[in-house]
A and B are shown apart, each in its own frame.
Chain A
Amino acid sequence: MAHLELDKATIRFGGLTAVSEVDLEVRPGELVGLIGPNGAGKTTVFNLITGVYAPSAGEIRFEGRPIQGLPPHRIAALGIARTFQNIHLFQSLSVLDNVRVGRHVRARSSLLQGLFLTRGSLGDEAEIEAASRRLLNVFALEDEWNWRAGSLPYGDQRRLEIARALATEPRLLLLDEPAAGTNPQEKDALMQLIRRVRTEFGVSVLLIEHDMQVVMGICERIYVLDYGKVIAVGRPEEIRNDPRVIEAYLGEAV
């Protein structure tokens, strides 16, 4: 059974059909790429999956259950987490607090319990902190735990965003251009990190990326989007040689 399934997902903004009858699936544990020229609707697909927009038509199922139209916080609670194309960290909060916010959705104590710092609330907090520090260790950010997130170097901010997303204990991770703005060494490290995240955290990954080295290097299947439509699906080598993809996006064989 597919983990995530988009069934003719469509969204129109006024006269513009940004995403048109997209069929897409991510199987459990799979690493899937979503590529296409700028303005093809890739991020809009992410926004549909995460509930930022409700589709105008079509269905989106996560683990067999329709999720279209649910608010973003509900979808996060169901187990879908994301990063953003232009980093959206909580800039003036500490690195640790950024990850701790990610754990919020798994906390059980109520505001009233927090108000009186009851045992339930304190236990929750201890659990949140321990889990968050474990994540910082995995991402080699433990020494910077007390830095303002906004003062981290760019590459670290990207990694912190992934750590924060994983803190929500997702089963599906959506990465929006994780390699943007990284240098070649960082790119290799990032590819390793994504592979490692998938096995260690048991998530399926759907990623948007312009960097062909990264996409071809780690994705098992790739969807190509153009003008809001899926124009090709397949394994990396199939995509690389698909004439439609070459015409619309790649330009020449890479």
Chain B
Amino acid sequence: MVVWLKRGLGLALLLLALWGMDTAATNYLEPTYYTLLVNIGRFVILAVSLNLINGITGQFSLGHMAFFALGGYAAAVVTKMVGHRLFGPVPSVSEGIPAFWYAWFAGSLLFGGLVAAVVGLAVGLPTLRLRGDYLAIVTLGMGEIVNIVIQNQEWIGGALGFADLPLFVRPGTGIFWIYLVAVATVLAIRNITQTTHGRALMAIREDEVAAQAMGVNVVRYKVLAFMVGAFFAGIAGGLYAHQQGIITPRDASFVRSIEIVVMVALGGSGSITGSILAAAILTALPEFLREAVGRLPYEQQEGARQLIEQLQMVIYALLLIVLMLVRPQGLLGARELSLRNLLRRRKPRSAPEPSG
């Protein structure tokens, strides 16, 4: 019971700290930077949850954003349609949104995560039985299927996207919500890796034949990892929908998923802190580029902006190629960044490299 008391206290402190950070950031940061922080948090959730599938379990999913979009749409349906019907329209921000709406929003996020996880189960069950690259092919297709199916659903906005969603995630609340989920994602996935279940996942990555000979139910664990990853991606989608006020079918597309794959590869497959780091870098970088463009003479700005936009995917591709050549294991490899590791003296060269 003491453990749970401590954890309850920890949670209370976390909520307080997040609220404090949010208030400080709202008052002292420019809105662009506030948004940047929120965006970083979102990509941390996405990268860390994809890392569970691609890095820790060693599968290769190219459809993470499909879960993101599914979760976003599902949450939006709960707030905008169901919530509207039950409680009337959400008051605008200037009128003040009553607290119960936030509880409803939290519920909608969970629902979005669950929808994503159930779809993950449906997609994963048949495909994760197969070996090799089938998952990559199927998940690649899944993103496009979700994209196209939603385009044809007029009741949720069709191709134009599901718009006019209540803005629960905005300056004053955004950092609180996003980082609450980010912390939950990181903790959940770190906890898994520290238990026998996480080791089962890593065993699958290392050697499937040996893993099943040791009693690991390979299919079950692959599907579980896929579902947990999808769950958190779905929640991220719900947050995003209520940050932008709109979610579109294009958010499910494979091109967007690649961004997350790059983050996981850059940070180091299997390293949670690596994913966090890479998510922060790859989200902040374009923002600072945009800022640099703003300093250019006015006539050149538009051209530079277009150039960056067009080059973005090329840059990602180049980054990946260079990474694979120079440091295929990613920035951190499978290691974790921690104070203890940083403080520990480096071992002499002759000693074998410890793992982990």
Chain A interface residues toward B at CB < 8 A = 50, 52, 71-73, 76-77, 81-82, 84, 88-94, 97, 100-105, 107, 109, 111, 114-117, 119, 121-122, 124-125, 128, 146-149, 151, 164-165, 167-168
Across the two chains, which residue of chain B brings its CB closest to A151? B352
CA of A115 to CA of B191, assembled, Å: 5
**Which of B213, B228, B352 is in CB contact (< 8 Å) with A72?**
B213
**Which of A76, A97, A111 is in CB contact (< 8 Å) with B213?**
A76
Known: A73-B212, A89-B207. A147 touches B355 (CB 8 A): yes
Identify which of B141-149, B193-201, B336-344 touches chain A.
Answer: B193-201
Decide if B110 is an interface residue (CB 8 Å cutoff): no
**Which of B196, B213, B215 is in CB contact (< 8 Å) with A128?**
B196
Identify which of B216-224, B250-258, B281-289 touches chain A.
Answer: B216-224
A125 touching B200 by the CB < 8 A rule? no
A93 touching B202 by the CB < 8 A rule? yes
Decide if B180 is an interface residue (CB 8 Å cutoff): no
The interface residues of chain B lying within 8 Å CB-to-CB of A114 are 191-192, 195-198
CA of A75 to CA of B198, assembled, Å: 21
- Binding site of B, secondary structure by majority: helix, strand, loop or mixed? helix
Decide if B81 is an interface residue (CB 8 Å cutoff): no
The interface residues of chain A lying within 8 Å CB-to-CB of B213 are 50, 52, 72, 76, 81-82, 84, 88
A146 touching B354 by the CB < 8 A rule? yes
Across the two chains, which residue of chain B brings its CB closest to A125? B195
A97 touching B202 by the CB < 8 A rule? yes
Across the two chains, which residue of chain B brings its CB closest to A121? B195
- Looking at the assembled complex, report how far the CB atom of A164 sits from the nearest CB atom of chain B, in whole angstroms: 7
B216 touching A73 by the CB < 8 A rule? yes
Highest count of chain A CB atoms <10 Å: which of B192, B195, B216: B195
B355 touching A115 by the CB < 8 A rule? no
14 pairs from A and B in contact (CB 8 Å cutoff):
A73-B218, A76-B212, A77-B215, A90-B203, A93-B355, A94-B354, A101-B214, A104-B215, A107-B196, A111-B192, A125-B196, A147-B352, A147-B355, A167-B214
B352 touching A148 by the CB < 8 A rule? yes
A93 touching B203 by the CB < 8 A rule? yes
A119 touching B200 by the CB < 8 A rule? no
Known: A94-B354, A119-B3, A128-B196. A72 touches B202 (CB 8 A): no
A92 touching B197 by the CB < 8 A rule? no
Decide if B356 is an interface residue (CB 8 Å cutoff): yes
A146 touching B355 by the CB < 8 A rule? yes
**Which of A73, A115, A125 is in CB contact (< 8 Å) with B215?**
A73
The interface residues of chain B lying within 8 Å CB-to-CB of A50 are 213
B356 touching A89 by the CB < 8 A rule? no
Besides the contacts A77-B215, A89-B207, what 20 more A-B pairs have beta carbons closer than 8 Å?
A: A52-B213, A71-B212, A71-B217, A76-B213, A81-B213, A82-B213, A88-B207, A89-B206, A90-B210, A93-B203, A94-B356, A101-B200, A101-B214, A102-B214, A109-B196, A114-B198, A125-B194, A146-B354, A151-B352, A165-B214
